Amino acid sequence: MSDAQGFARDQLRAFIERIERLEEEKKTIADDIKDVYGEAKSMGFDTKILRKVISIRKQDQDERMEQEAILDTYLQALGMVPVAEDAA
């Protein structure tokens, strides 16, 4: 085997091992997050709503406002919320 092939093999192995370590860390973190949700649930918090709050907090304000406006429009169109009166 040439030195170039050996070098490429070593690089490949290093990448694979790094990815495997990161995947294990990701699993550990996911388990920790699951535990926190479980703890919150045992204290009476709604985990579905907690997940939604986390999702909303990840968005920037403009994106969140745009999505809320579209949601309101759809809900009004379906008659699920009253149509806002014009203030004019």
| In the chain, where the domains are located | 1-45, 46-82
Outline where 43-87 has alpha helix (H).
Answer: 47-58, 61-77
Q: Cα angle at 59 between 50 and 23, to 5 degrees?
A: 70
pLDDT by residue (tens digit) across 29-79?
999 999 999 999 999 999 999 999 999 999 999 999 999 999 999 999 999
Does the pLDDT of residue 86 top 60, yes or no?
no
* CA 30/CA 24 separation, integer angstroms: 10
